[in-house]
Structure 1
Amino acid sequence: MILELLQPEPNWLRGISTALRIAFYVSCLGAAGLGIFALVFRRLQEPQDATACRRMTLATAAVGLASSLAWLTVQVALASAGDPFDAEIWDLMLTSRPGLSVLMVWAGLLAVALAVWIGRAASTVATAGVLTVAASFTSVGHTTQHQPQGLLSAVLSLHLLAVAFWAGSLWPLALASRRGGLAAARLLKAWTRIASWVVSALLLAGVVLAWLLVGRLEILVTTAYGLALLAKVALIAVLLGFAALHRFRLTPALAANIPGSGARLTASIGYEAFVMVLVFWAVAEMTATSPGGEG
């Protein structure tokens, strides 16, 4: 979006496409992450928080469906010189990689929403939905244009599942922190134990993806893709700083029932969520260009 608007003659449809892609990423991976959180940690949640998370999952899934449809509509407009209702282009788009990716996202989001609606007995449906959402991103984008495609798809899926886990956990963790008490401290400690492994997988997968897609260090400073990647890396470093702060200072303070610790942790998670959205912005900028500098 910003990269497009900085051009001498910006294409506003492309800028809108990137903005919709950000909403698409936040909502789809957020819904998948909420599904993961429910599968792993629901038994540790207060009933009121679990109910709030179910509602948030349904809301983010609905936003994901809407934003992905809007993004696909913009792609039709871009392909048809500005006509978003061109039936011929719609037929082509729905059978193309972007169209199939969106259809997979819809299937995954609907499965996650159905699992939330059914409740505890739908863990298989929720798992299938989460995996489908992650897999949908492997059918489109840079990983389909580079070799080895099988390895790239597997690593990207792992990376996205880890991102979804982290992003989708922020809302339920904020709810628990605001409520405070020993139950919240137990939930946060349990989440932290698993998150340390998930973040390690996220970083390893990210490094492998960057190496396979970029290959040469000069691309990082000579292309728009490289600059967006550097922005993403810097923002993830900020997120890791938040994670360290929460693990070693704010969560122990909450467990010790220090006055105001819950409010401080809740506020910090809010800032972390804002930085997470900026990470998705950087990713959207990366997908709008090419590691080779084209597009």
Structure 2
Amino acid sequence: MILELLGPGSDPLRALSVALRLAYYVACLGAAGLAIFTMGFGRLQEASDVASCRRLTLALVAAGLASSLAWLAAQVALASDGDPFDAEVWDMMLASRPGISVLVTWAGLLTMALATWTGRIAWPLAAVGVVAIAVSFTQVGHTTQHQPRWLLATALVVHLLAAAFWAGSLLPLMIASRQAGPQAASLVEGWARVASWVVAGLVVAGGTLAWLLVGQLDLLVTTAYGWALLGKVALVGALLGFAAWHRFRLTPALAAGAPGSGGRLAASIGWEIVVMALVFWAVAEMTSTSPRPEGM
């Protein structure tokens, strides 16, 4: 959104569209990540924490529904000289890739909300909703404009599922860390073991996407997309630093019952959440520009 405002001939409506897309990503992937976390680690949480995660998941589902609808309305406005209520353009938009993407997102969010409301017995249904949300993003964006389409779509789904798992886990982990104790240590250690494999998948899928979309190293420093991508990579590097610090220093201290270890881990995860939010912002900036100059 900042790139849109700073560029020549800036368009506030386009900047608003990017901001809405950012809210759309955060809400949908946050809800999906919380559902994944609960499916995998809910049994290790306190009952009150499970209930809190369920309420937050439902709140993020509502935010995802609202922000995706608002983003689609912004696309209608952009296509109709500023009128977000143009019925004819709405008909065309709902049949287009952005419309189909939002409809699939809605199906995934509502399926996941139903499973979350019902409880653990419906988690297979939640898994379907989570995958639907990830797949919905393959209908729009740069992966629809380049080849090989199947590899780009697969890498994007893997990347999004891994990112959702990581982002959606941070708040429950911070809450558990504050409580400290053996149960919290068991939760954090179990999550860290799984996260090592998930992060590896995230990095491989992200590298595949970057190479197929950019294609040339010089474009990293000669295009707005390249600079936004470099910013994202730097921020992900910071997240990996947090992950290593937590796994090898703060989590063992928590497991050993060191005084104040829970508070230190919770505070560090809080800063990790801030960096994760900046990663989503970098992604929103990347989606507002092309990875390659026109004609390439």
TM superposition score normalised by structure 2: 0.98
Maintained 8 Å contact 2:162/2:201: yes
| Bigger shift: residues 250-259 or 78-87 | 250-259
Q: Distance in 1 between matches of 2:205 and 2:151?
A: 11
After TM superposition, the structure 1 = structure 2 runs for residues 196-235 of structure 1, keeping only pairs within 5 Å, are 196-235=196-235
After TM superposition, the structure 1 = structure 2 runs for residues 52-67 of structure 1, keeping only pairs within 5 Å, are 52-67=52-67
Give CA-to-partner distance per residue, 1:145-203, whole Å, 9 cap, x none.
Answer: 11111111111101110000000101110111111100000000000000000000000
Q: Is 2:156 the counterpart of 1:156? A: yes
- Structure 1: gaps (5+ residues): none
> Matched residue of 1:248: which SS?
helix
**CA shift for structure 1 position 9:** 2.9
Q: Which amino acid aligns with 1:35?
A: A
Corresponding residue number in structure 1 for 2:171: 171
Q: Distance in 1 between matches of 2:36 and 2:42?
A: 10
**CA shift for structure 1 position 54:** 0.4
> Matched residue of 1:218: which SS?
helix
Q: Distance in 2 between matches of 1:232 and 1:177?
A: 27
Q: Distance in 1 between matches of 2:225 and 2:8?
A: 18
After TM superposition, the structure 1 = structure 2 runs for residues 1-295 of structure 1, keeping only pairs within 5 Å, are 1-294=1-294
Root-mean-square deviation (Å): 1.1
Q: Distance in 2 between matches of 1:259 and 1:243?
A: 21
Q: Distance in 2 between matches of 1:164 and 1:8?
A: 34
| Bigger shift: residues 93-102 or 260-269 | 260-269
Q: Distance in 2 between matches of 1:2 and 1:31?
A: 26
> Matched residue of 2:221: which SS?
helix
> Matched residue of 1:147: which SS?
coil
Q: Distance in 1 between matches of 2:289 and 2:66?
A: 24
> Matched residue of 1:290: which SS?
coil
Q: Distance in 2 between matches of 1:131 and 1:145?
A: 22
Maintained 8 Å contact 2:177/2:263: yes
| Bigger shift: residues 70-79 or 251-260 | 251-260
Q: Distance in 2 between matches of 1:64 and 1:250?
A: 33
Maintained 8 Å contact 1:225/1:293: no
Identity within the alignment, %: 67
**CA shift for structure 1 position 294:** 4.7
Aligned CA distance change for structure 1 residues 291 and 280 (closer, same or farther; 3 Å): same
Give CA-to-partner distance per residue, 1:59-102, whole Å, 9 cap, x none.
Answer: 11111111111111111111111111000111111111011101
Q: Which amino acid aligns with 2:91?
A: D
TM superposition score normalised by structure 1: 0.98
